Amino acid sequence: MDKNQIIGISLISVLMLGYFGFMSTQTPETPVTTPPAITQPVQSDTVLLKSAATDTALKAQNQREYGDFAAAMVGEAKEYKLENKDVVVTLSTKGGTIKSVLLKNYFTWDKKQLFLFKQENNQLSLILNTNKKPVDLYSLYYAGVESKAGDKQVVTFKTDAGNGKTIEHTYTLGAAGFTVDYNLKAAGFGGELPNLPLTLDWREQVERIEYDSEQARVKSTVNYMAAEDGFDYLSEASKDRETETLSNVYWVSLKQKFFNSGFYIREGGTIPSATVTAYPMYSTLPNAPVNSEKFIKALEAQVQLPLEAVISGKAAYAFYFGPNDFKICKAVPAENYQKNVNLGWPLVSWINRFVVIPVFDGLKGVFSSFGLIIVILVLLIKLVLLPLSYKSFVSMAKMKALKPELDELKAKHGDDQQAIQMEQMQVYKQFGINPLSGCIPVLLQMPILLAMFNFFPNAIDLRGESLWWATDLSSYDEFAKLPFTIPFYGSHVSMFTLLMTISTLAYTWVNNQVSTVTGPMKYMSYAMPVVFLFVLNSFPAGLSFYYFVSNLVTIAQQLIIRRFVDEGQLRLQLEAKRDKNLSGDTTGGAPKKNRFMARMEEAMKQREQEQQFKKNIKKK
């Protein structure tokens, strides 16, 4: 800084100090009203000039980038609502799109209103390619009009792009249901637009709405139904980003544990191309809030919409915002949309679809207590399976009746298990017993067991329903909270799981009273219930309660059947059959030869020959 600058700054400083000092010592003779009257307009004019300049610059920029769409880049946001007995859909003139979807008859785990769709955690864009810059049609401003079509409510958003060009979005909601019809039309563009599809990009930051956030996170994914490959979904528990590029897709849905938000072509059409993505657990979308307590996962679906259909006014789509309820999803006019409800593998799914769900729905229409419904469901299933249970018990009783002969074989051959097995087969043959006859009825009951295992965790009817200390049968019952975490068990105690484990141990003890299993295998049967204690501790309380009641009914069933089976008489019948077989008496026809038993004998003989051959080689 040179000498002149120093002098100049010093003089200015002195003058300013003198001016402020002089002004502060003056006492006005009259109230000072003039300065505000003079200065306020000056400030206002400055602000207005700046605002006008900014608006002019913004309009010029929009005109350069968006051409005919520039005028629609500014406007006023106004809300419209579509409402029926199930949902409230809020729409906005800003974007001409959905702002929120409230499910009226469902609530979050903490009893708050359940918004399945909110703009705060859903990013929707609809990109239209132009000869200039691509335009996001959901960023434009529209004029809204409400109307009626019979019992349906309609909201139409329309914006003018100049020279007779318009963009129009129409949303229609029926008197009931969770489906919102959506029509899109671009009129008056002629051949001005490049022949490229529009891109609908839907990104969702999945918000926590269930008590068990871990299960909710694992169950959140993207489902889709393709014309060629059928139904599929992205890995639910993957630690990596999962992405699939699809073609000819009927629908895509961003699925949560009990709800899903879907998009599909109406009237049986297919989406030509789509890309679906499930981001790793605990990840977030770009520009999305990071909160592991509030948001549990990030999902994305990007679909291509043919330009021709939009220009011709034939672009007919639909959104679904609702529960993963089999009957409700089955009614959605999209190919196999009920696949969003996981009912298990094919055989298990068939049992759930045609047996369990109809019976459960029937009971639900009569009884209000879901605890009572589960008990009655157990009794009905046990009644149907009673013939198989009886046959299995009688088979085990027969095996127990042969215990003296089997004990003699063990004493005779010691640790030579192969010799014991060979002679056991001969004993079974003499007495006319198939050792697998007790297993077959149990195996036939397995599909029912697996059906329940898939039904209860996915039954939305149990969501929020309480039973005794369990506040939500669709989640685990937290009877006690531990101050520490037990590996593979957790930090809570599920009382229904504990009761199920105790009842399973009791059933195992009762079952072992008629079982011929001895040694380590007998005690191994007591280990499985303990394993289930760890596995099922975080499973839905409804499932654990079902297994608990089922065990109690099975124990009672076993004790009752035992009273009707005379083991002494059964022994006499077996001895009579043995004597008949040994004497060669074929009165009443020769006994049928059991093919399976014959194959077992042949396999054991072959194994014995192989082992004998190995022994002979060692001796040489």
Sorted by where each begins, the domain ranges of the chain are 72-341, 350-579
Tell me which of 1.20.190.20, 2.40.50.100, 3.30.1360.70, 2.70.98.90 is the CATH number of domain 72-341.
2.70.98.90
CB 334 within 8 A of CB 225: yes
Condensed to tens digits (0 to 9), the pLDDT of residues 269-299 reads 899 999 999 987 655 555 444 445 688 889 9
| Dist. CA 430–CA 408, nearest whole Å | 16
- The pLDDT score that the predictor gives to residue 192 is 79
- The pLDDT score that the predictor gives to residue 130 is 84
- The pLDDT score that the predictor gives to residue 30 is 39
- The pLDDT score that the predictor gives to residue 44 is 52
| Dist. CA 307–CA 17, nearest whole Å | 71
| Dist. CA 233–CA 224, nearest whole Å | 6
Which H or E run includes 201? Answer: strand 198-207
Q: Which residues of the chain have pLDDT under 70?
A: 1-67, 281-293, 437-438, 514-522, 584-620
CB 296 within 8 A of CB 206: yes
Q: How far is residue 455 from each of residues 220, 341, 351, 450, measured CA to CA in Å? A: 17, 10, 10, 9
CB 490 within 8 A of CB 464: no
The single-letter DSSP state of residue 141 is: B
CB atoms within 10 A of CB 305: 21
- The pLDDT score that the predictor gives to residue 514 is 63
| Dist. CA 180–CA 266, nearest whole Å | 11
The amino acid present at 19, given as its one-letter code, is Y
The amino acid present at 507, given as its one-letter code, is Y
Tokens of 39: 């200065």
Map residue 86 onto helix, strand or coil. coil
| Dist. CA 196–CA 305, nearest whole Å | 9
pTM (2 d.p.): 0.78
β-sheet bridge partners, residue 585: none
CB 448 within 8 A of CB 350: no
Report angle CA 260, 154, 113 to the nearest 5 degrees: 40
Map residue 333 onto helix, strand or coil. coil
| Dist. CA 494–CA 470, nearest whole Å | 9
- The pLDDT score that the predictor gives to residue 28 is 40
| Dist. CA 259–CA 256, nearest whole Å | 5
Condensed to tens digits (0 to 9), the pLDDT of residues 433-451 reads 777 766 777 788 889 889 9
Conformation bin of residue 470: beta by default, left when phi > 0, alpha when psi is -120 to 50: beta
